[in-house]
Amino acid sequence: MEVRIGVQNVAREIGFESGQTVDEVSTAVAAALKNGGTLMLADDKGRQYIVPVAALGYIHIGETEKSRVGFGTT
C-alpha cells in the first residue's frame, strides 16, 4: 500500500510502499496524534520513517495504483 506524508514547511512529501494495512497505518497515526511525540511507520523494505507529530501536514493512505499499459482510457 502507498503512504504519503506531507511535512509542514517542507516542499517534498515522504512517499513509500508499506506492507501494513490501511487499518494498521490509521491506528498508528491516530495513536501518534493522541499521544503526541512521533509517528513511526515502516516500508516494505524494512526502513523506518519517524516524523514528529507537530510537523505533520497530511497523510495519504491508499492502494498502489496499477501501472497502465497502452493507450486505453478508463
Q: How many CB atoms lie within 10 A of CB 61?
A: 19
Distance of alpha carbon 15 from alpha carbon 49, whole angstroms? 10
- Give residue 27's pLDDT band: very low, low, confident or very high (50, 70, 90): very high
Cell of 41: 511507520
Mean pLDDT of 28-36: 94
Cell of 71: 493507450
- Give residue 63's pLDDT band: very low, low, confident or very high (50, 70, 90): confident
Helices (H) and strands (E) counted in the chain, each on its own, are 1, 5
User: pTM of the predicted model, to two decimals?
Assistant: 0.78
